[in-house]
Amino acid sequence: MKALLALEDGRIFEGYAFGALRETTGEVVFNTSMTGYQEILTDPSYRGQIVVMTYPLIGNYGVNSFDVESSLPQVEGFVVREKSPIESNWRSEESLDSYLRRYNIIGLERIDTRALTKYIRERGAMRAVISPFDLNSASLVDKARNAPEMVGQDLVQKVTLAQPEVWHEEGRFTIAVLDCGVKLNILRELAKRNCRVVRYPAFWEAKDVLRDAPQGILLSNGPGDPAALPYVVRFAQEVIGRVPVFGICLGHQIICQALGAKTFKLKFGHHGGNHPVKDLRSGWVAITTQNHGFSVDFDTLPGNEVEITHVNLNDYTLEGIRHRKLPVFSVQFHPEAHPGPHDTTYLFDQFVKMVEDNLA
């Protein structure tokens, strides 16, 4: 079935719908990963966004119930050059097409994804609409312009859990994870390191978490504008200095705001598994998985309190910080990967060591 993708500036792309036949709006971004489309679909950080895959053939190894980062797909729409007509993998349980239909997500194929990606790189990420029903260009552009902007949106409330839960019961240390849209592999990495893992909703009060006496706190990734989350920033301010704190992606932006920094929106964001990041302390360069549309402003960090530890070698944006006195550090990239390289999983070891040293 023919469908159109319309950008808010008036550019139209034609393709064919698959998955659920429905109209959707969202901010359109591109992801440069070659594999891992199921992990991308289920990453809560993509809530509110239409994801374009730059790799041309998607769906060839199907979908299974193991390679998920949350309980269901989170994207608003999924755009590919070619959806594979077959799925061939011993772990496959269903096709990408049927998976998207089951969760009411529209896909769009046979469009020029290279042209769309280059357009976003030149003009920036923008609001868009996909529709298999309304094929009137002027009507679709108007719908895109009336869709919510990403700036100012609190999307964390749409992806966080409703009540605290013990995710992993056994462990040497208890780690509280403030769930702003946490990827499951973050929890798996903690459990692998002999940690008892307890998830808390993003709106939970710091005093209630601290009452449960965790030995460490992790602030997770998540969607939307970090500047629209004053209640999470307040949480961070109240726990920093009380227990060791580790922040990932949105959690990094929250920690930096809690320490006095400001955030800003990137032109088209970082989404993919091939971003080079330099550790300024060792000089070592890691290839990282990233998924964020906002960044922390270097110049607003309190330099006397905070050490910059990592920078992005593509655009030299901030990728990591560490407090000079308190047991607090954070990174903008995803050390748990899934999908992507495992170059930086050692950061979980550093966090657990920080917890252990704090108890000594």
Q: In this predicted model, what pLDDT tens digit does every residue of 141-186 receive, in sequence order?
A: 999 999 999 999 999 999 999 999 999 999 999 999 999 999 999 9
Catalytic, out of 76, 168, 336, 338 = 336
Q: Which residues contact 295 (CB under 8 A, 6 or more apart)?
A: 253, 263, 264, 266, 317, 318, 332
Q: 37: pLDDT confidence band, cut at 50, 70 and 90?
A: very high
Which CATH number applies to 2-145? Answer: 3.50.30.20
* pLDDT > 70: percent of the chain: 100
- Output the pLDDT for position 360: 85
Does the pLDDT of residue 43 top 90, yes or no? yes
338 labelled catalytic: no
- Across the chain, mean pLDDT equals 97
Catalytic, out of 189, 249, 252, 338 = 249
Does the pLDDT of residue 235 top 90, yes or no? yes
- The CATH 3.50.30.20 portion of the chain extends over 2-145
Distance in angstroms (rounded) separating the CA atoms of residues 57 and 109: 10
170 labelled catalytic: no
pLDDT digits (tens, 9 = 90+) for 74-125: 999 999 999 999 999 999 999 999 999 999 999 999 999 999 999 999 999 9
Q: How far is CA 262 from CA 1, 25, 35, 122, 360, in A?
A: 45, 28, 33, 25, 34
**Which whole number is the average pLDDT over 265-290?**
97
**Which whole number is the average pLDDT over 235-252?**
98
**Secondary structure of residue 32 in the 3-state scheme:** coil
- The CATH 3.40.50.880 portion of the chain extends over 156-359
**Residue 146 burial class via C-beta count within 10 angstroms: exposed 0-12, middle 13-18, buried 19 and up:** exposed
Q: Does domain 156-359 have CATH number 3.40.50.880?
A: yes
Q: Which DSSP letter does residue 7 get?
A: E
Helix (H) or strand (E) holding 336: none
H helical segments located in 193-342 = 206-211, 230-239, 250-258
- Output the pLDDT for position 226: 98
pLDDT digits (tens, 9 = 90+) for 59-68: 999 999 999 9
Map tokens 């990094």 to a residue.
Answer: 252
pLDDT digits (tens, 9 = 90+) for 196-210: 999 999 999 999 999
- What is the DSSP secondary-structure string of 36-50? -HHHHHT-GGGTTEE
**Which whole number is the average pLDDT over 26-36?**
97
Map tokens 């989404």 to a residue.
Answer: 271
* Bridge partner residues of 339 (DSSP): none
Q: 300: pLDDT confidence band, cut at 50, 70 and 90?
A: very high
**Which whole number is the average pLDDT over 122-137?**
97
180 labelled catalytic: no
Distance in angstroms (rounded) separating the CA atoms of residues 269 and 333: 12
3-state SS, one letter per residue, for 158-183: HCCCCCCEEEECCCCEEEEEEECCCC
Does the pLDDT of residue 28 top 90, yes or no? yes
- Output the pLDDT for position 329: 98
Does the pLDDT of residue 321 top 90, yes or no? yes
Q: 303: pLDDT confidence band, cut at 50, 70 and 90?
A: confident
